[in-house]
Structure 1
Amino acid sequence: MRSYSPETDRIVNTTAMQDDLATLQRETFDYFIQEANPANGLVLDKTEANSPASIAATGLALACYPVGVDRGFMTRSAATERTLATLRFFWNSPQGPEPDATGYRGFYYHFLDMQTGRRVWQCELSTIDSTLLLAGALAAGQYFDADTAAETEIRTLADALYHRADWCWAQDQRETVTHGWTPEQGFLKYRWEGYDEALLLYVLGLGSPTHPLPKTSYTAWTATFRWEHCYGYEYLYAGPLFIHQLSHVWIDLRGVQDAFMRSKGSDYFENSRRATLVQHRYAIENPRGFDGYGEHCWGITASDGPGPCTLKLKGIERRFLSYAARGVPYGPDDGTLAPWAVAASLPFAPEIVRPTISFCIHQAKLKAAKAYGFKAAFNPTHPGTAGSAFDWWISPWHFGLDEGPVVLMIENERSGFLWRLMRSCPYIRCGLQRAGFEGGWLREFEPGRTPAP
């Protein structure tokens, strides 16, 4: 009999984890192949019947296609064709103040009809969702670098789309950027203030060569931050986990600091690590007493949910939410967890994320084979619906906005693929530098230095 070897056991477990991650990434990637319109490149917001396209999901798809080529999920020619169809659609689609246009001032409506590409639901012209779309276009422009007519057109269209966005208009005559605009009501009353996913928005806005945000807009944004102490960690607070991930999908923020982070002796990557550890500790301590929470069962973010409803369970009245921006530690928290948000935290805290992914796959059975990876959300406290294969509520849908970060953050942790790609984008570098970022990989681009290959 072979004697037990801890080193052999570690290698076997590591190999199994790598296999799990590779399978999760591959099956999640399929969302962007199966749930898209190849004629215009638009990607479905979620798998519920009659759902529209999401421009954010479409932007994530544009960044995922290069990963798909690199990993052998699709051919370069297929990715080129899909990318070109997407960029041509957005460049040629109607831009104007009409209520059924596709966009205005270089920004786009949050939700579009999958076939016509026109605005649906009287939704807003979304600055953050347009940011994700434009970031995807820029990623495509960096990746498709061959001297062919198709790839040259991709680069030309990516630049043209980015140059068209009028970031100054989106400020509505104040320092910070608005959430959006509608032809019926004008600018929304909400602005990108407080630490949130808008870090990417401000970097792209500052880096624009045509309609750049002033440097003061970034300073005004950081002036609204909240630095807090939770569960033994000091960090820049934001409740939902996705806020600590979304900008990091695109930008390598390891070791680069703006004035705010220099004053704290930290950086945004370390901040996201601390936020992930806070989420983990919160689930272990479980202050609200929800079922299932623990060392390998955590991840609270904006997600689908079982509500709205109120149920009395085990003598406690529980109020359950539908789709909501759940957060830690102040809530809202109704017992709903999102396994995709755990997977998207992989680069920050692999030592706690990897065991949780394994638990979600093998114990909780939250990944059905060939079904776009993890279920969007689940709630072990809610009893679920009669006839379900689970004893608790589980979301019946998959969401494009959840799928992209899983594909891309698995790849960033594995190879740094998208981070490297976007480091080579001059607009990203310009935006970071105008925001006051210094250090880390940005040193390679200081005057007199030769960038590393």
Structure 2
Amino acid sequence: MRKTLIVVLCGATLVARSQTTIAPVGVIKGLSDSALLDVVQRQTFRYFWDFAHPVSGLARERDNTVKAEYYWDYINEADGDPNFSRHTFGPEACAIGGTGFGILSTIVAVQRHWIGRDTALRRLVKIVDFLTKADCYHGIYPHFMNGATGKTIPFGRLDDGADIVETSYLMMGLLCAREYFAGNPPLEIYFRNRVTAMWQYADWNWHSKGDNKHLYWHWSPANDFDMNFPIYGWNEALITYILSAASSTHPISKELYENSWVHSASWRNGKSYYGITLPLGNFDYGGPLFFEQYTFMGIDPNGLKDDQGIDYAEQTKAHTLINRAYCIDNPKKFKGYGANCWGLTAGDSYIGYVAHCPQDDRSVIQPTAALSSFPYTPEFSMQALKHFYYDLGDKLWGPYGFADGFSETRNWYAKTHLAIDEGPVVVMIENYRSGLIWNLFMQIPDVQRGLHNLGFTSLHLKN
């Protein structure tokens, strides 16, 4: 089962309503590799710091439109039953998952001294105070939220309530921040208590519909589980199962994880592409690269194995190398593709938001794909970064880092930045450089409990 989102953009440029506190820079020639990574991480972080919603501090879903028309077509691949809906949003639309990514990025910003610790903490307290009063459903938050009112913005006709996957990204960020801000100042204690209350209140098991057959992506107060969208593997949602099993108050069972994820028809692959064996995933060539990035912003795949014999370091690297090899092979002969210009993943294109991958290749490269792969392919990711920055910087580089996507074939360069594409750039480059987020997140007792409960082993786990 797959959720497909197509976005058609219109309207005028939207200007951030907060004073810039981190000054943007243009393309600077002759940087060392380390200095270049500093520049890219720092400028990308501005999206979450300077462009955050002024009322709530949440991450805006995207940056460049006052008005955006969204078209959704949900397709149940098991029975082909479509559900179509159309909505128009303005700049109040904030992303719950993107906010989680922004919180992880804020930890990086503090550690690298782009912002002060106390200043960052006040922003995080603003976020959790807002969320404790905002719409949630059995402790699970919606996909999109109005950043001024805290009210749910429906994602679709039946999807107007809880989104357990987006909530898992939010909780990944909050739990990691709780681990980082572990000091004795009253505001740090206050923040940790707020996060713990949110974490304990979240009823992950509610999304099992009371049995151990499936974990469901959505629940609606008006439509119950009519969305009927189980979370099958392999995709971006492994973190959802890990955190659902980690809960001390409302955990799912390992049986549910195995029935809904491991035993699904879309979990294993085992085929070879360009001489590289891909352990997991129903997509030929692996699908969009965000499958290997969202969960692994917090979960360290190195040394991570499960009781099915899967090595997650092998999975993440294999998928990335296959994606790059496909772009080098370039069977559709698109302009620009090559060893220094690769990366197919979900993001904006000339027709809207598309989950780009070898099976749906439309000549669009997303910079986030290669840059968020730094922990897996550092040499190749650096090669792509230098091309994006030095060779294409006049078209791609802006106040929030790189534009979301581009097609040299069509001479099209996005004017957009998306929270869910910005966050992985900051975090995954940092995991490559220092392991900061991996080391914090993997030492959290709740996370270790979830991994243990699902049969994982890792060098981070305590016996």
TM-score range, shorter chain: 0.7 to 0.9
SS in 1 for 2:248: coil
Of the three residues 366, 375, 378, the one matched with 1:350 is 378
Of the three residues 79, 98, 101, the one matched with 1:57 is 98
Of the three residues 66, 77, 88, the one matched with 2:129 is 88
Of the three residues 422, 433, 436, the one matched with 1:403 is 422
Of the three residues 114, 119, 136, the one matched with 2:173 is 136
Unaligned runs of 5+ in 1: 1-12, 94-101, 308-321, 383-391, 447-453
Distance 1:259 1:83 in 2: 37
Residue in 2 that maps onto 1:432 = 451
Residue in 2 that maps onto 1:46 = 62
Residue in 1 that maps onto 2:215 = 177
Of the three residues 135, 139, 142, the one matched with 1:109 is 142
Structure 2 counterpart of 1:25, which letter?
Q
Matched, 1:24 2:40: yes
Matched, 1:245 2:293: yes
Counterparts in 2 of 1:46-445, with a 5 A limit? 46-47=62-63, 48-49=65-66, 50-51=90-91, 52-93=93-134, 102-121=135-154, 123=156, 124=159, 125-174=162-211, 175-187=213-225, 188-220=227-259, 221-224=261-264, 225-227=267-269, 228-235=271-278, 236-237=280-281, 238-260=286-308, 262=309, 264=310, 267-307=311-351, 322-328=352-358, 331-365=359-393, 371-382=399-410, 392-442=411-461, 445=462
Q: Cα offset for 1:370?
A: 5.1
Q: Cα offset for 1:63?
A: 1.4
Q: Cα offset for 1:39?
A: 3.7
Residue in 2 that maps onto 1:310 = none
SS in 2 for 1:92: coil
Distance 1:170 1:364 in 2: 45
Q: Cα offset for 1:173?
A: 3.5
Q: Cα offset for 1:402?
A: 0.8
Distance 1:14 1:269 in 2: 33
Q: Residue 182 of structure 2 contacts residue 188 of structure 2 at CA under 8 Å; is this kept in 1?
A: yes
Query: Cα RMSD between the aligned structures?
Result: 1.7
Residue in 1 that maps onto 2:76 = none
SS in 1 for 2:219: strand
Deviations 1:307-354 (A, max 9, x none): 2xxxxxxxxxxxxxx2111223xx111111101111000000112111
Structure 2 counterpart of 1:258, which letter?
D
Q: Residue 324 of structure 2 contacts residue 343 of structure 2 at CA under 8 Å; is this kept in 1?
A: yes
Q: Residue 298 of structure 2 contacts residue 442 of structure 2 at CA under 8 Å; is this kept in 1?
A: no
Q: Cα offset for 1:26?
A: 0.5
Q: Cα offset for 1:190?
A: 1.6
State the TM-score, normalizing by the size of structure 2: 0.82
Residue in 2 that maps onto 1:316 = none
Is 224-233 or 268-277 further displaced after alignment? 224-233
Is 243-252 or 283-292 further displaced after alignment? 283-292
Percent of aligned positions that are identical: 32
Q: Residue 140 of structure 2 contacts residue 167 of structure 2 at CA under 8 Å; is this kept in 1?
A: yes
Q: Residue 375 of structure 1 contacts residue 396 of structure 1 at CA under 8 Å; is this kept in 2?
A: yes
Q: Residue 40 of structure 1 contacts residue 86 of structure 1 at CA under 8 Å; is this kept in 2?
A: yes
Q: Residue 361 of structure 1 contacts residue 367 of structure 1 at CA under 8 Å; is this kept in 2?
A: no
Structure 1 counterpart of 2:438, which letter?
W
Distance 2:396 2:344 in 1: 21
Q: Residue 103 of structure 2 contacts residue 173 of structure 2 at CA under 8 Å; is this kept in 1?
A: yes
Greater radius of gyration (CA): 1
Deviations 1:390-436 (A, max 9, x none): xx111111111111100101111000000111122111100111110
Q: Cα offset for 1:366?
A: 6.4
Distance 2:342 2:229 in 1: 30
Q: How many residues align?
A: 395
Cα distance change, pair 180–121 in 1 and its aligned pair in 2 (3 A): closer
Q: Cα offset for 1:145?
A: 0.9
Q: Residue 280 of structure 1 contacts residue 295 of structure 1 at CA under 8 Å; is this kept in 2?
A: yes
Q: Cα offset for 1:15?
A: 6.3
Q: Residue 244 of structure 2 contacts residue 450 of structure 2 at CA under 8 Å; is this kept in 1?
A: yes
Unaligned runs of 5+ in 2: 1-28, 67-89
Distance 1:29 1:412 in 2: 15
Distance 1:173 1:209 in 2: 18
Q: Residue 366 of structure 1 contacts residue 374 of structure 1 at CA under 8 Å; is this kept in 2?
A: no
Structure 1 counterpart of 2:141, which letter?
Y
Structure 1 counterpart of 2:106, which letter?
Y
State the TM-score, normalizing by the size of structure 1: 0.84
Q: Cα offset for 1:60?
A: 1.2
Cα distance change, pair 183–30 in 1 and its aligned pair in 2 (3 A): same
Q: Cα offset for 1:130?
A: 0.7
Deviations 1:166-214 (A, max 9, x none): 1111122442211112233222222110201111000000010000001
Distance 2:393 2:360 in 1: 26
Q: Cα offset for 1:367?
A: 6.9
Cα distance change, pair 366–189 in 1 and its aligned pair in 2 (3 A): farther
Q: Cα offset for 1:440?
A: 2.2
SS in 1 for 2:460: helix
SS in 1 for 2:178: helix
Distance 2:50 2:301 in 1: 32
Q: Cα offset for 1:377?
A: 0.5
Q: Residue 373 of structure 2 contacts residue 381 of structure 2 at CA under 8 Å; is this kept in 1?
A: yes
